Amino acid sequence: MGKGTVNMICDVAEMTALFEKSSNLDDFLQSVVGVVAWHMKAAVCSILIYDEETRILTLRATQGLSPKAVGQVKLRLGEGLTGLALKELRPIREASGAKNPHFLHIKGIKEERYQAFLAVPIRRGLTRVGVLMVEDTQADYFDEKDEQALKAIAAQLATVIENANLLMTLHRHEKAVKPKVKLLPKMIKGRAASGGLATGRATFMFSGRDGMFQAPADVPENLTADDFDRALQMAEQQLKDLQREADEELADVAQLIFSAHLLILADEEFSGEIRRRIKTGTPPAEALAAVVNHYVEIFSASSNSRLQEKVHDLKDLGHRLLENLTGGEREHGDYSGQIIVADTLMPSDVLKLATEKAEGFIVQGGVTSHNAIICRSLQKPMVMVDPQQMELFSESCELLMDGDQGSIYIQPSKEVLKEYVEHRRSAEALEAALPINEQTCTADGVRVQLFANINLLSDLKVALTSRAEGVGLYRSEFPFIIRNAFPSEEEQYQVYIRIAEAMGDREVTFRTLDIGGDKILAYHSEVEEANPFLGLRAIRFSLMHKDIFADQLRALLRAGAGRNTRIMFPLIASLDDFLEARDVLYSCMRELDKRELPYNRDTKIGVMVELPSAVEMIEDLAHEVDFMSIGTNDLIQYMLAVDRTNEMVSKLYLSHHPAILRAIEKVASVARKHRKDVSICGDIAKDPKMIPFLLGVGLTKLSLPPRRIYEIQQAIGHISMEHAVYVARKMLGFSRISEVEAFLEEATQ
């Protein structure tokens, strides 16, 4: 049929280019239907948008049907094949649509001559956004590859469409809030979340009305409407450049992350209102601040949580426009030389601000793993502080933050600055000169394998430089957490294949989606959980939403074709969990066979051992699995009933607790007995004082952050296996925490 390939249609750069060239949402959608129809050689392509309040689908763009139908064709949820696809959130493909009893004939739109029919829902998580539909005169024209292509495009469309729809609710007046005058102490002690040093001035990014956008007092007085128009044009180009750069460097998580910014810029209510205020005599900077605050008010007051999330986007855009307007020191209106001080940040906020060159992050609250992990991968320091400590900062005050120690210096002296700058230079020089060996061995020559934990594609370069022997844990949830909708099979495949290819013939272990607890999807919050750590997370979520699970498994299998890849299921509580998940995997293999797509038929299947029930069932699991990985972070949390993100009980979160030590030894012993590959990941694997114990119980395969490989390699090189076995036996013999701690303290002296 000569139709375009999935890769051609799903090219993110092409979608981004279409977005950039469009002046509004309808123009963008019309461009999309044209491109899709051309690639697929389809006679018709249409997009319908869903209104949650009225439960009505409206045709918003079409190529092939009558242009007069746009805005006039409306369907109820479940009405016709198109409405049914959205209601049931599944693709519908028919050789001849008119022969299906659900087909709805609509007069006057010139649809009667078409036979082949394919519709896929556009969804943001489990929220309905619209439908993407193609038709053709030739019966049975569309195949499974076309279906996969449309699903991938629909996933990309969801973000842009929702951002545009949110902007349509703006009809309130602005209020200005004067900043509080705050005293400046010299030093604040917070909690380390991501290491590194940063200096810069504080830039506030508070949510709600407490974080109103402020124009500085020293703005030049001779600014005009022409200056504002130049600032607007500069911002548009800067954001497009940033998006292209992000697409190249952070392709796994940065898809269209600046779409909300660009849509606000194109919104006439936004830029037009600023111009009107300037023409009536309001200084441009004040007009900008007033209109930004007008939007902040509306977004903050909305009951729509996703609208509330856009507050940071508004302030970020206001910041950029103000920098361009006033001709600030930063040529490109970014966050160079600035440290973000925020009460709360979404993972996507962290990614966007890091892309815009923010130096570091100071955030209110406990250490949430997703934001901390993103900052570590992007090498940006982050420190968490208490709410009352937030009152000690003031906008634009000079800061020095030490992400390793959790220390923040306000208005640091020249001596303190000099000391920290010299320390950073020395650390960078030392790191650049570190001689990492290709193989890791104990002092008496026993081989130990050091694998890398990978969170973002950007970690791959560090893993290769650190000579990791493979990927011991790829946390696949980050493309899910950062994006605004579930990534499609094709989008996931493009991420996973890059990891597999980068590692060559080295082993790569992919962990399936592990969300829940402190890793929440912004677009899947329909149900509030009293205790998310004990709720619908990890494999439980995947087994409840098997369509999403199957998309990921097929992508992982395909990425493994011709490679040494493994798939691992998280939070397995029983043998039943594993067998059910494995059955879904086998079903995906059969589907790929049917689609005649290559995949890794020899994929090893394993489990994360991170629940007390899994430790108790380890013998039974060992009979069925190909490999096991001990996930110590969750194992400690669940065995000791300690929420690792709760500062009030954090001192009880102990990797050296006797129960934890015995659980680790039990799993290692059973794996050895059944000759099953076993590894360990989590913070314990990067803790030098715990390495002798791990080696002593037979764990010689460790997975850790790639930047810690050198340190752990050096520690292992000074330990003999005989000594490690002695340490393990001693530690397993203790029944009191204090005994273990005394032994470890003596051993490290």
Mean of pLDDT over the chain: 84
pLDDT-derived band of residue 243, with 50, 70 and 90 as boundaries?
confident
**pLDDT at residue 530 in the model:** 58
Q: Bigger pLDDT: 676 or 379?
A: 676
CA 588, CA 592: separation in Å to the nearest integer?
6
Lay out the sheet containing 187-189: strands in order across. Answer: 187-189, 407-410, 398-402, 197-205, 338-342, 360-364, 382-385, 191-194
**pLDDT at residue 173 in the model:** 33
8 Å CB contact between 376 and 194? yes
Q: Bigger pLDDT: 687 or 218?
A: 687
CA 347, CA 359: separation in Å to the nearest integer?
16
pLDDT-derived band of residue 14, with 50, 70 and 90 as boundaries?
low
For the ranges 29-33, 482-486, 614-618, the maximum mean pLDDT occurs at 614-618
Domains detected in the chain: 6-166 (3.30.450.40), 187-211+223-430 (3.50.30.10), 434-747 (3.20.20.60)
- Concatenate the DSSP letters of all residues of 140-206 into one string: T---HHHHHHHHHHHHHHHHHHHHHHHHTT--------PPPP----SEEE-EEEE--EEEEEEEEE-
Among residues 655, 189, 606, the alpha carbon closest in space to that of 384 is found at: 189
The mean pLDDT of 573-595, rounded to a whole number, is 97
CA 643, CA 446: separation in Å to the nearest integer?
37
For the ranges 173-182, 191-200, 374-383, 611-620, the maximum mean pLDDT occurs at 611-620
CA 182, CA 60: separation in Å to the nearest integer?
51
Q: Any idea which of 390-394, 546-550, 689-693 has the lowest mean pLDDT?
A: 390-394
Catalytic residues: 370, 681
**pLDDT at residue 528 in the model:** 54
8 Å CB contact between 192 and 360? no
- Concatenate the DSSP letters of all residues of 209-266 into one string: GGG-----TT--TT--HHHHHHHHHHHHHHHHHHHHHHHHH-TTT-TTTTHHHHHHHH
DSSP 9: H
Q: What is the pLDDT of residues 303-315, one digit of tens each?
A: 766 666 677 777 7
Task: List the structure tokens of 270.
Answer: 């936004």
**pLDDT at residue 177 in the model:** 38
CA 403, CA 231: separation in Å to the nearest integer?
34
Q: What is the pLDDT of residues 460-518, one digit of tens each?
A: 988 998 999 999 999 998 777 766 567 889 889 988 999 999 999 999 999 999 876 55
pLDDT-derived band of residue 58, with 50, 70 and 90 as boundaries?
very high
pLDDT-derived band of residue 175, with 50, 70 and 90 as boundaries?
very low
Give the type of residue at 201: R
Q: What is the pLDDT of residues 434-455, one digit of tens each?
A: 678 889 999 999 999 999 999 8
Return the biggest CA–CA distance within the chain. Answer: 86
Model confidence at 2: pLDDT above 50? no
